[in-house]
Structure 1
């Protein structure tokens, strides 16, 4: 219920990004009913990105104050409204407003969903579930590519209606999922640390009773690990900043490095991919979605097949392995691209291999920033690092699109690929040296709650990593 009900968020985001990538050229035609310019198509993507950043910051704070459950229902509803209305846009300005609203909903989803998953899933399975759920973004991208092949074919669907129907796919899926989410409980961790003790006990009792009804005997609770907390409705922003950057500075560096490096690589390759196919391999526009399908499959397979290793082999080993292998394959692709020996098919194959590993690594970045900070500021931590990553990704998309040029010179883009490989290797090495061995660890063992009585008595500054090597 948790995986299906909450995992749909990334499918919706992947669907949104892929649809806009596919309908961009359609929207420039007068028959679409909009007839906007290429620059205005780029503006649509930028406004959606800005909406995500605003949504993450606003709803990240709210999810820590008001609860995970309220927010993952509210943000999905906001997305449904924004995306649905985008399908009935009558001009550029209405389209921009609706895309901003949809972006806000998805940005808020990132914070509420990652917080809820980490706090509801057992420690032994937290890594694989979180990574798999984040990886389903590419399931949405695959769905968007397949849908575009049908809905954007003017021989099958009129241009005026085809792109509009595309924007109804997400809301239709969302209406089904919002029903499932109504049955997902609030995080008892959030309830307890915010003073809702009776509700927390009732939530846990309900979960335990559900487990026993299936004939499973629960082991006794280890009361030696009990933590006494004094619930607080809200944590001041000054205290949030102090905990993140003064008490856990190395974790802040870890989270920022992992998020920036993976976002830089993804946006650099993903948003320049169509240009590379067009300019260097002479792939016509109508065939570009066909090359995104295997690319999306590779990205989806990585988290699903490698996710369990983050719980068994460990976070630091697998982050270094996935980031490192993605870096090596990207460097190899750069050499072969520069030599001019690749075709559109072999270039796509190399990207599939590269992002099979990079996708699992990128998903682990979201896992890392959501589990290494205290419960009470988890949503805000996710929002902060998500916004940093989006900024890095936006810069990468612009830079690498300019490196493509007119397709006559391979040198600038080759150099860009080597820079991307170096970025990924840096992310893996930073995780190896200062990362946290959070696998199979309780969230409270990784970062003690801000509201714990022990912490109030003496706030411990971050020293040598207490979990490294354990």
Structure 2
């Protein structure tokens, strides 16, 4: 007799999975769009409000503070009240927060609204990835999660296009108002996204979980499995509540340490590079429209990066693919820092973006695989939350280092070192999870 977990893990990849992936991808893309808009608005705000480098750095960091708190709380709460409720609530929070940014009347009000945006974004991402991983078939789970993460590139691309077309002509406020539109998506999401069957089992809602999985099996043309046995029901009911402190117990300590280092380094490099990139390019002598064009092409390069990671992660495994992408990003960052010609900026910038976002896709695949269902959202949320500390620090570190165009190579040498540390962490502390069923 197959358990609920085995029935889900052994399902053939079909319409149900692709529909759920598309729904989650739209939410993920909206996350990226609302995050990305601020990086394109900043050069305009610097000129309009006469912001210092330290103030610009804190605009980026305050959003990450919100994301850290949102990830830790959202992830933990989702293990108690369910993935679906938290996913929907956080989408509304960050969408309305983005719209409110357009109403900002001064620097301080913008900081407050950016905190709200970050809180909603931080709460949604770990919950979304947990829900998707709990429905993805075991053999293709890595590919499905990387494809979900690839929606980030499309969302950032949307932010690039919106900013490129709107900000120069209509002002920065309109870009933020457009970012509020995803709040309307919650009505469709609530009707179509199912709660996690694995979560329902752990909460003792066995009949509901069985009915949900049976409907999925019928949709995919699979003979429905039998109702859960008494042993499975008792096992699910006996699962104790998971506390955050257990992340540091002997059973999970190595996994937690590996993930927290990995998250810190990847988030530090990503937000340090991409939140500052338009501004850094302006400081290097390019005008604002040129800098937007550079970032637009670098964003396009993220898409094949994700798809390449998706093709490799279930074949080569999580460790080898992650280490390769991190080292590739480290080398590209080093070369980008010393790039002088427009051609070199495009080449190394696109490669840096290709490898960095591919690594993100693998990170989101790998993280939920290291924890059981009762701890999965908590484990993902706290790893992501700790990682956001890197994102909080990175914009301020870059702000302190950038005293002129001659300091740009030094900044990217720093990112190179951080990415090499992340690769070594994965190689030394990481456990391979390829083709392993969730529990």
TM-score, normalised by the number of residues in structure 1: 0.81
CA separation in 2, counterparts of 1:43 and 1:435? 33
Match of 1:433 among 404, 425, 428: 428
Shift in alpha-carbon separation, 1:333–1:25, aligned structure 2, 3 A: closer
Give the CA deviation at 1:66: 0.3
Aligned residue pairs total 419
* Greater relative contact order structure (CA < 8 Å, 6+ sep): 2
Shift in alpha-carbon separation, 1:391–1:208, aligned structure 2, 3 A: same
The 8 Å contact of residues 259 and 362 in structure 1, kept in 2 or not, is answered as no
Shift in alpha-carbon separation, 1:416–1:96, aligned structure 2, 3 A: closer
Which residue is 1:318 aligned to?
321
Which residue is 1:369 aligned to?
367
Give the CA deviation at 1:367: 2.2
Which residue is 1:165 aligned to?
174
Kindly indicate whether residue 403 of structure 2 is the aligned counterpart of residue 405 of structure 1: yes
Name the stretch that deviates more: 379-388 or 77-86. 77-86
Mapping 1:178-193, distance limit 5 Å:
178-193=187-202
Match of 2:264 among 256, 260, 271: 260
Give the CA deviation at 1:302: 0.5
Kindly indicate whether residue 366 of structure 2 is the aligned counterpart of residue 360 of structure 1: no
The 8 Å contact of residues 97 and 180 in structure 2, kept in 1 or not, is answered as no
Q: Give the secondary structure class of the aligned counterpart of 1:443.
A: coil
CA separation in 2, counterparts of 1:133 and 1:300? 11
Q: Deviations over 1:65-91 (max 9, x none)?
A: 001111111111222332233334455
CA separation in 1, counterparts of 2:410 and 2:62? 30
Q: Deviations over 1:118-158 (max 9, x none)?
A: 1011111211121222232222121111111221123xx3x
Give the CA deviation at 1:275: 3.9
Shift in alpha-carbon separation, 1:243–1:29, aligned structure 2, 3 A: closer
CA separation in 2, counterparts of 1:13 and 1:202? 32
Which residue is 2:67 aligned to?
52
Q: Deviations over 1:173-227 (max 9, x none)?
A: 4423640442111111000011111111111112112222xxx56799999x979
Which residue is 2:416 aligned to?
421
The 8 Å contact of residues 67 and 118 in structure 2, kept in 1 or not, is answered as yes
- Give unpaired runs (5+ residues) of structure 2: 1-18
Give the CA deviation at 1:294: 0.9
Kindly indicate whether residue 295 of structure 2 is the aligned counterpart of residue 300 of structure 1: no
Shift in alpha-carbon separation, 1:278–1:164, aligned structure 2, 3 A: closer
Kindly indicate whether residue 87 of structure 2 is the aligned counterpart of residue 81 of structure 1: no
Kindly indicate whether residue 39 of structure 2 is the aligned counterpart of residue 21 of structure 1: yes
Q: Give the secondary structure class of the aligned counterpart of 1:307.
A: helix
Match of 2:119 among 94, 104, 111: 104
Which residue is 1:456 aligned to?
none
Match of 2:378 among 377, 380, 389: 380
Give the helix-richer structure, 1 or 2. 2
Mapping 1:258-297, distance limit 5 Å:
258-280=262-284, 282-297=285-300
Q: Give the secondary structure class of the aligned counterpart of 2:404.
A: coil
Which residue is 2:347 aligned to?
349
Q: Please report the RMSD computed on the Cα atoms of aligned residues, expressed in angstroms.
A: 2.8
CA separation in 1, counterparts of 2:287 and 2:46? 17
TM-score, normalised by the number of residues in structure 2: 0.86
Q: Give the secondary structure class of the aligned counterpart of 1:352.
A: helix
Give the CA deviation at 1:364: 1.4
Shift in alpha-carbon separation, 1:132–1:178, aligned structure 2, 3 A: farther
Kindly indicate whether residue 67 of structure 2 is the aligned counterpart of residue 63 of structure 1: no
Shift in alpha-carbon separation, 1:123–1:175, aligned structure 2, 3 A: same
CA separation in 2, counterparts of 1:328 and 1:222? 51
Q: Give the secondary structure class of the aligned counterpart of 1:402.
A: helix
Larger Rg: 1
CA separation in 1, counterparts of 2:262 and 2:249? 16
Shift in alpha-carbon separation, 1:227–1:355, aligned structure 2, 3 A: farther
CA separation in 2, counterparts of 1:150 and 1:404? 28
The 8 Å contact of residues 131 and 303 in structure 1, kept in 2 or not, is answered as yes
Shift in alpha-carbon separation, 1:137–1:191, aligned structure 2, 3 A: same
